[in-house]
Amino acid sequence: MKSHEADEWVKPHKLTEETIAFFKKRTMNDLIDGRVSYYEKEKNIEMVDKKRGKLKKNVFVQKKGENVFFKVFKDKYTEEPKKDGDIYGLIDYKNCNTSDKVLGQIRYLIGFDWCTSEIIDQFLHTVEAIHVTRTGELLFKSEGR
């Protein structure tokens, strides 16, 4: 679709002011994921010395007894910050132990104007890693194409 066709398709008078404000905050590039993995992007690594680096991330895991919780931060950190800035959490693993529950959490997360595809990607990888560790099964199963 060409840009002038997209402009004709979108009727500005039908968009609410809230939707327009949302689109202005988030450019299209924030909504579309690139083909380069989050873990391979140089901007996501903070070098400790000449050979070693620490991964900057938005999603951190806490274990309290037998319970596991996730915290999702707006900004990237190499270590979990002690203060709570723009954050979504604590998210109990019990609220993410099925694919439907994870989808519900993602729907809530994308309501924040600071949530990006990278944050969602990190969240999915982290939740699935915990799920596999606890159950030995994949959280998302492919039925093929």
3-state DSSP assignment of residue 88: strand
Instruction: Provide the domain limits for residue 16.
Output: 3-135
Residue 141, pLDDT above cutoff 80: no
Whether residue 145 is contained in a domain is answered as no
Cβ proximity of 76 and 67 under 8 Å = no
Domain count, the chain: 1
Residue 119, pLDDT above cutoff 70: yes
Higher pLDDT, 44 or 40: 44
Whether residue 23 is contained in a domain is answered as yes
Residue 37 binned pLDDT confidence (cut-offs 50, 70, 90): low
Whether residue 104 is contained in a domain is answered as yes
The least confident of 2-16, 60-74, 78-92, 113-127 is 2-16
DSSP string across 10-77: S-GGGS-HHHHHHHHHS-HHHHS--SS-GGG-GGGEEESSSS-EEE-EEEEEEEETTEEEEEEEEEEE
Whether residue 141 is contained in a domain is answered as no
Cβ proximity of 61 and 91 under 8 Å = no
Global confidence as pTM: 0.68
* Matching residue, tokens 């905050």: 25
Whether residue 128 is contained in a domain is answered as yes
Whether residue 74 is contained in a domain is answered as yes
Higher pLDDT, 50 or 30: 50
